[in-house]
Every structure is written in C-alpha cells, then in structure tokens.
Structure 1
Amino acid sequence: MAAAATGLAMPVLAPAQEAQPTESLERGRTRVAGFADAEMDYQLMRQLGAVRYGGASVGECLALAQRIQNGVPASWVAEFAAAGVRQEQDAAARARRGHVVSARDQYLVASNSYRAAEYYCGVLDPKHAQLGLKSRECFLAAMHQQGGAFEAFSLPFGETPLPAYYIRAPQARARRGKTLMIISGYDGTLEETWLAYGRAALERGYHLMLFTGPGQMDTLRFHPGIAFIPEYERVAKVALDHVLSRPGTDPRRVALMGISFGGYFATRMAAHEPRIRALIANSPIVDLHAYMASFAGFDPAQMPDAEDIRLADVDAIPPTVIPPQTREMMRNLMVRLGQESFKRAYQRLHDFRVNDTALRAIRCPVLGLTGSGEGAEPLAQAERFHHGVGGPATRHMFTDLEGADGHCQNANLAYSAAVSMDWLDELFA
C-alpha cells in the first residue's frame, strides 16, 4: 500500500544515509485477537456484539482479551469482574457530577461486564449470584439516569417470584399500543436482552416486557435452588395476565420473542396461549435433548452408568481428563436441571419437547431465525418448526457474509433486530 494511502508520514533518507534500526511504528498496543478456544472466542464475540446498543466498547473488550488466559474461566471472571468494578466506579463519579448521559452509558457497560463475569463463574460459587446482582444493580442505575417509564418487578409464581422489567414506549403516550414480550434462555439475562433487542424494540414504538422463568439466570440470583421446568406455559400465563392487565396494552398486538433456549420456552408458550398474537423464535427449538446432544457429539442419556459423572465428583476430575471450562459447563447443566449426574441431566432433557400436536396448535404468525453456522441439528429443528406450526410461518437464515451466522446473531444484533422488528411492524401495521 502506498504511503499516502496509509496516512502515515514515512521517513525520507538522503542518498548517502544508511537506515538505522528503529522501533516499528505503532498507533496503539491493543490488538484484534481472540481465543483459540472456540467457546471463549464465542463469548468474546458475544461481548463485542453488545457494542451496537451500548453494552461494551471494542477497545476495552480486546484489551481485556489480551489479559485473559485462553480457555481458563477463572482468568475471564477476574478480568471482567475487575472491569465491572472500574466501570461502575467511573459511572458513579460521573453521576455525582451531574453527567447523566455519561453515567447511564457507563452503568450499562458495567452491567454487561458483570454479566460476562457471571457467565463463567461457577454456578455453585457464591460469587455467581453476587456478580449477577451487581449486573442488575448497574442496569437499574442506568435506567434511573435515563428516566422514563421503567419498572422492575416480580411476577407471582408459587413461592418463587420471577424477575421482570417493563418499559413503556414514550411514543405511545395515553393510547393503547403494541407490546413485545421477550424471554431469554439458558444463560441470557434481562439486562443482556435489553441490550440485544429491548432498545431496538423501544425505538420502534413497542411497549417492552422482559421476563424470566424458573432456572434462568435472573431467577437463580435470588433463588439458587430453583431448576428449569419443561412447562413454560405456566410462566406464559402469569406474564400475559400481567401485560394484558395494563391499560396501555392493545391485546390484538402482543408478540412474544424467545432467544436461544428461549426459542423452546416461547414455542411452548405459544402452543398453549392463544393470547400471543405473533411469535419470534431465535432460534426455533422443539427438542432440547436432541439439541444439546448434538453439541456433546453423543447422547449422554445413553452412557453406561459406570461412565456417568456425578455432581459430587466434578471437582475431582483432573484438568488433563476434562478441561476446566468443560467441567464447569457440565456442573452448570446438572445444577440448572436439578439432577445429581450428567447422565440424569440429559435424561431430564427428554421432557423438554414440543410435539407435533402442540406445534399445530400455534395458530399465530411465526418467524423463525437461524444462523447458517449453528449446526445440523439446530437447522433441522428450525425446519421442523417451520413446517409444523399451524399458522403462517416465515423463516430467515443469517449468513457469514453478514457476520451473523452464529447462534442468536450476537455479532450483528442490529441486523437481527432489523429483520425481526420489520417483520413484526408489517404484521402489526
């Protein structure tokens, strides 16, 4: 490339002058480099994707990545937790000086840093809930700085209140408006859901309700022993009862979006709830057991008892046999499903299904979102979903050309929002 094109001033040497060794010219020390470990690299991409809606900065994420040991969860947790503390302190200082916008923005970044640390922290470690509650605290501080009609509350669900957020669209004023309900999945949080799709929905004039169910990350922060349940239609009932009781809700324009495992939760909900008038599944999951077994590469539900791994024995497994990251993911799955062994956790996943009859019961318009790089089983389940629902079905496949081929399009959230929200706008027009 020519010097003029680079924008760099190049040294000019006199004919008789010999070049002396000099340091290479640099504009900075942060480098665009990820991780050799595929899962940790995906989590970094997930964090970078949040930049679009104010949940991170590119430079800070890459700087953190340079200090994190590849494939070592404890290193990730330490760096992102420290970043969260630094960002939260900076936000508080700006708030004290009256800089509302700067404080809000920094609180959002801090919230997402704490979430990133929460993800890799062991689910039985007391710090797991502490990091999650710090993420929530910073998010609430950001919403306080922003002002507007924001509510943090709980949905009644037996003895386990379910955390939820409601944000009223400022454009709606006194009239009844369209509402988007969003539920995340296995490790997503209410705060991350806001960053991924919540802000995009509000910008398009939707009232927004973010909610969660048993076993999900937000619920675990308050109720560590509560496991996932297959019957998420029970959660749908209390969530819809709440939304439809609000005077600003137009019952003809209530949509539900499920993200990641939430694709299963939302599909199950829509199969039992005719009050849902539109469904977006990202991605469509109708059989969680088959979905998870595809990532394991075999079916742990069929493994011999002698090879089963019990929850009590996880810490005794040498890192040379099972890497720390994989070991923690196994423990997490057992705890979140309320099972004492890896085999039993996969056997429990058999209960998390939407059968063909239930699929046909979904009569509302549906949109299925998938990434071309998600793998054979997720794409096969999306196909089954598309052809199995009883209402009109639309599908969209994101590709690597858009940088959105991964699970839930974390690397291009704005384009994912454009596809999903435009479909919903046209449907509710």
Structure 2
Amino acid sequence: MTLFDDPAFNFNGLLALGGAGSGSAEVGEVLTAVNTINRAGLSSQTYVRTFHELGDRLMGPPPGSRPDDATRRSRALRAAQYYGQALFFVLGSDHPGNEEDLYRAGRRAWETFCDLCDPQPVRAQIPYGDTTLPVWFFRPEPSDHCRPTVILTNGSDGQNVDMWTYGVAAALERGWNALVYDGPGQGQLLFVDRVVFTPTWEEVVSPLIDWLDMRPDAETRRIALTGLSMGGDLAPRAAAFEDRIAALVAMPGCVDPWLGFPPELRQILTPHKEETNRIWNEEVVPELTPPRTRRPRCGNASNRSRRRRCSRPARARPSPTSGHPPAGSRRWTSPMSSHASPCPHSSSTTTTSSSTPGSRSRCTQP
C-alpha cells in the first residue's frame, strides 16, 4: 500500500496505520492525515505539523461532549502514536528545536493512557548508572498471582506506544505480565537525560530482572525478552550474558546493525580519522542543514535522528546486584573532534569483543 511517494514517509505512515489493530491508531484519522499532508505537499514540515495537531486535538475533549474514561483512554493512546509520528521527522522540519517538547507531549499522552488503564501499570524507576530506567509493568489483573512476564525492548526510533502495539496488548490477553522500559538511547533517557545507546545491553536488562525477581506476581523462571527493530540486535546480546532469560524473540534477528545505516553514510568512513573528519565536516555537514527555501529532506532528518542516539559517551553502570562488571569504559563512541561525529563507527582506534563481558567494546566499521 502506498500512502506517500517517499519510502521513509510511507513506512512510517503504514506503521501508524497498522497500530489500528491494537487501538493505538484509527484508520480514518490516519488516512485523513495522509490526505492532508499530500494535499499540502509532502515534506517533514507538513508531516510533523499534521500529526502534531492531530495529537493535540485528541488530548482535548471531543467538541461538545464530556467523554468517559474509556473514550479518554483510547484518545490518549492514539495521541501518543501521532506525537511519535511527528517526533520522527521533526529534525527535518522548520523547528528542529521542538524535539524534546514533542517527546514530552507524547510521554504525557502515554502517561494519561496508563492512568486510565484498569489495572494501571506499576511504574518504577530502576537504578542504572548515573540515572534510572523508567518502567511500566502491565498486569492482566492486580493480584499477586505469579505469572510469566515478557520484557519488551524498543528499537532506535520507537516510543512506548509502539510496545503496546508490538506485544503488551497481546500479552495481557494471554494472562501474561508485560514490562515496557526506556533504555539508553531511547525515550526519556535520550530526549531528557541525554544518555545514548550502549552495546552492553545485558547491563540494561539485568537490573530489570533483578526488579522482577523481587515481585510476587512475576515468575522469574518464565521471563521472555523481545527486541523490535534495533532491539533485534540488543536483546540477543542481553540474552547471551543473562541466564535468567527463558525465551528470546528478536524481530528481526540482527547480526550486523552497521548495515542498517544508509550506504552514503557508511561510504564516508575511511581507515583514517582525519580524512573521515574532513569529508564529514566539509562535504556532509553543509548538506545536513538545507536553506529554509529548500524542502527538508526526510533522509537527512532520519540520519540526524539516528546519529544523535549514538553520538555521546554513555556513562552507565550496571545495578550493584546485577553481577556484571562496570560499563564505564565501554561506550559507543567519543566525538572525533569539536564538530559533530558522524556515527558510532568512526573511532580511530577500535577494539571489539562480544565473548567476554569485561572486554572493551565499541561499534566498529566492518
């Protein structure tokens, strides 16, 4: 199905449309937004404005009515989806500085949805290094009955609402618990705390399992871990070192996330740090900020969005009870110069090892 001529916009539009199956979108709303964007002329600006306004409209009451809690809950969930759609392309719009505000709007919609769930998810802040991991623990009913639990891991661009679509609703229907969380490089940790991705994802998941292990309603011998999109690379890494995971689902199974970066981005990396910096700063960076008279290009916005998730050192340490060595020296990258770093593979000296948890590990150019 083609909603937009541009494949990146089309992919995201289809993602929103697919959310209708779990109530996180409504077919008529999405198609109306698509028609509005196409009539105005497809661009990051029109896409962001249309979905942002749709989210704002749903967070208010329907004109002339006083909605019940079920209606407000449904509207808030859909608003979270539409804010997430706007957030994905905001860096290519006329107002890239609105990124954190858009994230916070989506987060408020998500929290409103959670407040109106019955039962409400248990919220927690689980210690992780210098910060905490926000957790939403959904249960089919509020008793202490011991149940299996699925931990749902997002990718590089998803929001909490995507985890509802991906598996929370299905888990609850089957009598399972479902745990949603923001890890480094995701959600609150990225947009508010400025903590970026780490390759040592076992140090993210182990504190979550420690927390579940203390709950009477979670059967710790029956914990499944899922990973969606980039999570298909992160979740298997966690399962390789965390033996309390009974089942693993990676969608897709990702053995080389480097290949997920656009070819034009991979091609600028050379064996020499100085040459890579020259190409980046003299040839690429000027193209990343087109003049206001030029239509914002989706590829640039997408690339910038993904680079920022990996472009600052992560300072995370594992929970003291997780049993794994500190991660302070293992991070995706450090900036190559005073200019923006193009991606996590551009470190001049890179050593990788996934076989020993204590070894130095960075993303590397193949």
Per the shorter chain, which TM-score range?
0.7 to 0.9
The answer to whether structure 1 residue 173 and structure 2 residue 146 are counterparts is no
The answer to whether structure 1 residue 335 and structure 2 residue 287 are counterparts is no
1:228-239 to structure 2, matched below 5 A, reads 228-239=197-208
Q: 1:173 to 1:92 in 2, by over 3 A?
A: farther
Q: 2:259 aligns with which of 290, 294, 314?
A: 290
1:57-72 to structure 2, matched below 5 A, reads 57-69=26-38, 71-72=42-43
Which residue is equivalent to 1:164?
A: 135
Say which structure is richer in helix. 1
Contact 1:300 1:342 in 2 (8 A): no
The answer to whether structure 1 residue 308 and structure 2 residue 262 are counterparts is no
Secondary structure class of the residue paired with 2:60: helix
Q: 1:36 to 1:271 in 2, by over 3 A?
A: same
1:210, distance to aligned residue in structure 2 (A)? 0.7
Which residue is equivalent to 1:205?
A: 175
1:243-258 to structure 2, matched below 5 A, reads 243-258=212-227
Contact 1:91 1:103 in 2 (8 A): no
> Which structure ranks higher in relative contact order (CA pairs < 8 Å, sequence separation ≥ 6)?
2
Q: 1:326 aligns with which of 294, 299, 319?
A: 299
Contact 2:110 2:160 in 1 (8 A): no
1:89, distance to aligned residue in structure 2 (A)? 0.7
Which residue identity does 1:237 align to in structure 2?
A: S
Secondary structure class of the residue paired with 1:214: coil
Contact 1:287 1:352 in 2 (8 A): no
Kindly, what percent of the aligned residue pairs are identical?
24
Whole-angstrom CA distance in 2 between matches of 1:229 and 1:301: 21
1:73-222 to structure 2, matched below 5 A, reads 73-90=44-61, 97=66, 99-122=68-91, 125-170=96-141, 173-222=143-192
1:301, distance to aligned residue in structure 2 (A)? 2.4
1:261, distance to aligned residue in structure 2 (A)? 0.5
**RMSD of aligned Cα (Å):** 3.2
1:144, distance to aligned residue in structure 2 (A)? 2.0
Contact 1:181 1:256 in 2 (8 A): yes
Whole-angstrom CA distance in 1 between matches of 2:4 and 2:191: 29
1:125, distance to aligned residue in structure 2 (A)? 3.4
1:231, distance to aligned residue in structure 2 (A)? 1.2
Contact 1:111 1:135 in 2 (8 A): yes
Which residue identity does 1:328 align to in structure 2?
A: A
Computing the radius of gyration over CA atoms, which structure comes out larger, 1 or 2? 1
Q: 1:296 to 1:173 in 2, by over 3 A?
A: farther
Secondary structure class of the residue paired with 1:227: coil
Identify unmatched segments of 5+ residues in structure 2.
312-334, 357-366
Which residue identity does 1:139 align to in structure 2?
A: W
- How many residues end up aligned between the 2 structures? 322
Deviation larger for 195-204 or 48-57: 195-204
* Deviation string, structure 1 residues 152-179 (Cα, Å, up to 9, x no partner): 3222112222222111222x83321100
Q: 1:167 to 1:91 in 2, by over 3 A?
A: farther
Which residue identity does 1:332 align to in structure 2?
A: S
Q: 1:333 to 1:141 in 2, by over 3 A?
A: closer
